[in-house]
Chain A
């Protein structure tokens, strides 16, 4: 299939692997930021192909995984109310809150629906004026513009029954937080191609923006290893068919019009200053957190799993004693096991058969 097969071509992929092996004279620890990239690495077994010295560790770029526990609890509290329809993306429904998840709320009679786009939630709100329609908006800079657009549109139409529970997160502050950790061992980053499609790459100083197909990722790894070997520090763009330096300006405009930067808690990581997006004061009438009085909902994450170490590349999911035993996608102990983009879930889904190789076996 055009635009797909050529990026999954075995000959091209093996050629890139050979180039990486020739180029890498030192061991390097690289992190792919985005959960979609982690998913591709695991699904296509790219970690099996890489030379032993090039280690991939998996970043925090799974929006489902990092959505804070208390935000899930807020969504559950709102969805449990009569006369409310809570709408979100599919994989948010399985994420466990403190007590329950949205699937269970739905089973108990809550009106919880899945859509592919927030504009469908708007459509539903227009068609059901007596129902309070809440869109549960999560994600990185990738999904933020479409969500901003929905709120902007709702305001323009004077829609009274639509609101948004917004919990967006931003990539650059997360990278800074990872780098500033005293235990950091990541030497180079593969940047998130979809985020950069929206935002461009002018916000970054040293990474290679990468795509999501196997050949994209291998090419990005090659570019990054080459930089590191040559001692160069610069931003490069592998994903040129989608990403430009300045990004998608209309998308950035609507995002800036509706959202403002805020402090944000990340599930499994903790608070990171200026790492989230909230609705601006001018859009307060669409803020579900205010409308439903859930601002005070808080939740403490019990310390059990090792996801901070996983997210920093200090440990692999398979190093966790609970992995695939007490922690599975049906009963996730931690955030990275929740969504298929989470590092632990990706290992579970695609690489479990390698675990027998020994502790930490790749």
Chain B
């Protein structure tokens, strides 16, 4: 059959666009593009020991007091969703970033960027959520700020919170402390928050409603530390999901991590939505879960302590830390085969078919 294909004689492909001249949405994904921006723009500008740890919080010493300090901005759409709203997220997100350093969260700042025309009732509802979430978490909002931008220059409402907490004794939890033989613990089901948001945006409905898992985790962390001090590192797998947090730990500790697919708890609704939308739950955001890397002997007592706390009742051992292939996360699949759990370049994109 005559045709003008090039199948017979080798192939051609497009040369890509190597230089990123502008900020893309993918730079906010928590994946490789975010890392690239962090390493090229921010780290060279501000290099110092506290920042270079690259953990969820900085830990600084002031007059013998070890303070954990962190900040986070929240730009979620829709503002209100089953299980919470942008106000709940803004409190729990910052509380959790402090908690992942083992700190007791104490004080928060609260800064709003509001778009002209935002209904005052929306602001009232968000502020009420902040109040309730802060009271539940036992933190105090001690300072704040408000800016208003012209209609069209913002998306209704953005929130930033910063937080300060106190780190007990000489406790040091950091992503570079994972060692071969350590075990990986996960506090519960993954993907609940991300799929809740996505299904709200896409108008998807399920037999039973999915809720965001947004929750403050510092009391769970305190229970875990009470069970054993042999915790190397804690992370809350928010944007970029489980895979991004684990890739970060593997890279920083120069180890590999192997997960057991069958051990990772996922709700049926979340799994179903992911199948339908062409997404992998390992990359979907969580707002009330944590990963712990712990010494092997400490795993069982810590797991028991987690399961006694409602925020960790579905906790599982999901994998282990290994030597070799430094920086790589792999997974033993349900079929007993092995595959990579890669860091994505940018946001996870839904597949066409």
Q: Which residues of A contact B (CB under 8 A)?
A: 1, 4, 8-10, 13-14, 36, 39, 42-46, 48-49, 63-64, 69, 89-94, 96-101, 103-104, 106-108, 114, 116, 138-140, 142-143, 176-178, 180-183, 194, 214, 266-273, 301-312, 328-335, 339-341, 348-353
Q: Which residues on A sit within 8 Å (CB–CB) of B330?
A: 353
Decide: A308 near B12, CB < 8 A? Known: A107-B23, A108-B22, A330-B32. Answer: yes
**Distance, CA A348 to CA B272, complexed state (A):** 25
Of the listed residues B4, B17, B20, B335, the one surrounded by the most CB atoms of chain A closer than 10 A to its CB is: B335
Which of A48, A116, A306 touches B11 (beta carbons < 8 Å)?
A306
Contact of A330 with B345 in the complex, beta carbons under 8 Å: yes
Q: Which residue of B lies closest to A69 (CB)?
A: B14
Contact of A312 with B350 in the complex, beta carbons under 8 Å: no
Residues of chain B in range 334-352 having any CB-CB distance to chain A below 8 Å: 334-340, 342, 344-346, 349-352
Q: Closest 10 A-B residue pairs measured CB to CB?
A: A45-B337, A308-B11, A334-B13, A90-B349, A305-B13, A270-B6, A90-B350, A301-B12, A350-B339, A270-B5
Contact of B328 with A142 in the complex, beta carbons under 8 Å: no
* A345 shortest CB reach to chain B, Å: 10
**How many residues of chain B get a CB closer than 8 Å to chain A's CBs?**
52
Contact of B352 with A143 in the complex, beta carbons under 8 Å: yes
In this assembly, does B41 line the interface, its C-beta being within 8 Å of a C-beta of chain A?
no
Which of B10, B14, B325 touches A335 (beta carbons < 8 Å)?
B14
Contact of B335 with A44 in the complex, beta carbons under 8 Å: yes
A selection of 27 A-B contacts at a CB cut-off of 8 Å is: A4-B271, A36-B353, A44-B337, A45-B338, A49-B335, A63-B352, A64-B352, A103-B26, A107-B23, A107-B25, A108-B22, A139-B352, A176-B1, A177-B3, A181-B7, A301-B14, A302-B13, A303-B13, A304-B12, A306-B10, A311-B11, A329-B344, A329-B345, A334-B13, A352-B340, A352-B342, A353-B325
Contact of A268 with B18 in the complex, beta carbons under 8 Å: no
Which of A14, A64, A310, A349 touches B340 (beta carbons < 8 Å)?
A349
* A178 shortest CB reach to chain B, Å: 7
**Distance, CA A116 to CA B330, complexed state (A):** 30
Decide: A180 near B271, CB < 8 A? Known: A138-B352, A267-B14, A309-B11. Answer: no
Residues of chain B in range 59-113 having any CB-CB distance to chain A below 8 Å: none
**Distance, CA A99 to CA B16, complexed state (A):** 8
Contact of A91 with B339 in the complex, beta carbons under 8 Å: no
Contact of A96 with B7 in the complex, beta carbons under 8 Å: no
Q: Which residues on A sit within 8 Å (CB–CB) of B5?
A: 177, 181, 266, 269-272
Q: Which residues on B sit within 8 Å (CB–CB) of A271?
A: 3-5
Q: Which residues on B sit within 8 Å (CB–CB) of A14?
A: 335-336
Decide: A91 near B345, CB < 8 A? Known: A301-B14, A302-B15. Answer: no
Decide: A177 near B342, CB < 8 A? Known: A44-B333, A302-B15, A331-B18. Answer: no
Could you list 10 further interchain pairs (A-B, Cβ under 8 angstroms) beyond the known A44-B335, A267-B13, A309-B11?
A: A4-B272, A10-B334, A107-B24, A107-B25, A114-B350, A271-B4, A330-B345, A333-B13, A352-B342, A353-B340
In this assembly, does B277 line the interface, its C-beta being within 8 Å of a C-beta of chain A?
yes
Which of B9, B22, B277, B342 touches A348 (beta carbons < 8 Å)?
B342
Q: Which residues on A sit within 8 Å (CB–CB) of B7?
A: 177-178, 181, 183, 269-270, 308, 311-312
In this assembly, does B323 line the interface, its C-beta being within 8 Å of a C-beta of chain A?
no
* A332 shortest CB reach to chain B, Å: 5
Residues of chain B in range 36-53 having any CB-CB distance to chain A below 8 Å: none
Q: Which residue of B lies closest to A348 (CB)?
A: B342
Q: Which residue of A lies closest to B202 (CB)?
A: A116
Contact of B14 with A180 in the complex, beta carbons under 8 Å: no
Contact of B16 with A10 in the complex, beta carbons under 8 Å: no
In this assembly, does B275 line the interface, its C-beta being within 8 Å of a C-beta of chain A?
yes
Q: Which residues of B contact A (CB under 8 A)?
A: 1, 3-18, 20-26, 32-33, 202, 268, 271-272, 275, 277, 325, 328, 330, 333-340, 342, 344-346, 349-353
Q: Which residue of A lies closest to B275 (CB)?
A: A4
Q: Which residues on A sit within 8 Å (CB–CB) of B277?
A: 116
Of the listed residues A44, A63, A138, A339, the one surrounded by the most CB atoms of chain B closer than 10 A to its CB is: A44
Contact of B11 with A268 in the complex, beta carbons under 8 Å: yes
* B17 shortest CB reach to chain A, Å: 5
Contact of B1 with A180 in the complex, beta carbons under 8 Å: yes
Contact of A96 with B14 in the complex, beta carbons under 8 Å: yes
**Distance, CA A333 to CA B7, complexed state (A):** 18
**Distance, CA A4 to CA B3, complexed state (A):** 42
Contact of B335 with A103 in the complex, beta carbons under 8 Å: no
Q: Which residues on A sit within 8 Å (CB–CB) of B340?
A: 349-353
Q: Which residue of B lies closest to A101 (CB)?
A: B17
* B7 shortest CB reach to chain A, Å: 4
Q: Which residue of B lies closest to A39 (CB)?
A: B351
Contact of B351 with A340 in the complex, beta carbons under 8 Å: yes
Q: Which residues on A sit within 8 Å (CB–CB) of B345?
A: 94, 328-330
Contact of A93 with B349 in the complex, beta carbons under 8 Å: yes
Q: Which residue of A lies closest to B27 (CB)?
A: A107
Contact of B335 with A10 in the complex, beta carbons under 8 Å: yes
Q: Which residues on A sit within 8 Å (CB–CB) of B25?
A: 103, 106-107
**Distance, CA A312 to CA B9, complexed state (A):** 11
Q: Which residues on B sit within 8 Å (CB–CB) of A267?
A: 13-14
Q: Which residue of A lies closest to B342 (CB)?
A: A349
Contact of A104 with B353 in the complex, beta carbons under 8 Å: no
* A322 shortest CB reach to chain B, Å: 10
Of the listed residues B10, B275, B336, B337, the one surrounded by the most CB atoms of chain A closer than 10 A to its CB is: B337
* A16 shortest CB reach to chain B, Å: 11
Which of B3, B21, B22 touches A273 (beta carbons < 8 Å)?
B3
**Distance, CA A335 to CA B338, complexed state (A):** 26
* B286 shortest CB reach to chain A, Å: 19
**Distance, CA A114 to CA B25, complexed state (A):** 13
Q: Which residues on A sit within 8 Å (CB–CB) of B24?
A: 103-104, 106-107
**Distance, CA A101 to CA B352, complexed state (A):** 17
**Distance, CA A17 to CA B6, complexed state (A):** 36
Which of B8, B17, B336, B349 touches A182 (beta carbons < 8 Å)?
B8
**Distance, CA A48 to CA B337, complexed state (A):** 7
**Distance, CA A139 to CA B328, complexed state (A):** 33
Q: Which residues on A sit within 8 Å (CB–CB) of B26?
A: 103
Contact of B351 with A91 in the complex, beta carbons under 8 Å: yes
